[in-house]
Amino acid sequence: MRPREFDHDDVLRIAFDQFWRKGVRGTSLADIARDAGVQRGSLYNAFGSKQALFLCAYERYASEYLSSVRKALGSGTLRERLTVFFDLTIRSFRSGSPPRGCPTTRGLMELASVDGEGLDENARQAFADLVARIIGLVQDALTEGVERGEFNGVPAIAALHIVSVTRGLAVLERAFGDETQLRRIARHTVDLVLDKENR
């Protein structure tokens, strides 16, 4: 087998940055090839299509983001874990200049397009898988909180509620760009989930 003409991981990083900033439809393979310093034909040979490249780049991002979520939820009191989780979420939405928003929410909005150019079922499944895995990690943290006497609710329901709030934060970030508002909502959500007794 012939050696790769480029650093695969570097191309995925560059591609994802473009997809995140400009959306899938707003990004061309020519743009990615230019920024990565490779031939467009090399990208076609390696990935087959722009959407296949997007999926590979998104899966790389999802793996890295899940590692960050695990770390955020991995130590401290339950309140501290949830606070760090929300902080990570908001920092991710607000990264870039101008802020790029949430790549999953942006991708799903393109997927819901009615003009026939939305993403395919593989992309929808990739988005759903990341959200489901985040819910699972939050649920694990809440279950540990129950065991430590820090939480007296139902972990599965509370985890779904918390991650649903992060989806709402993604939309509010796009609409208003008000980080203070996002952090206020996050704090209030943690208070609601843990209730007065655990504050």
The domain locations on the chain are 58-198
pLDDT of residue 108: 82
pLDDT of residue 197: 47
Residue 75, CA atoms < 13 Å, CB-side half-sphere: 2
In the numeric block, which tokens belong to residue 191? 């208070």
Torsion, Cα 181 83 97 132, to 10 degrees, reads -100
Torsion, Cα 25 27 33 35, to 10 degrees, reads -170
pLDDT of residue 196: 54
pLDDT of residue 111: 67
pLDDT of residue 3: 40
Residue 60: name the closest of 11, 108, 120, 95 by CA. 11
pLDDT of residue 117: 55
Residue 78: name the closest of 131, 167, 140 by CA. 140
Show the low-confidence residues of the chain (pLDDT under 50).
1-4, 114, 197-199
Q: 75 exposed, middle or buried (CB, 10 Å; 0-12, 13-18, 19+)?
A: exposed
Residue 16: name the closest of 44, 53, 67, 57 by CA. 57
pLDDT of residue 199: 45
Q: May I ask the CATH architecture of the domain 58-198?
A: Orthogonal Bundle (1.10)
Taking a C-beta distance cutoff of 8 angstroms, is the pair 118, 110 a contact? Answer: yes
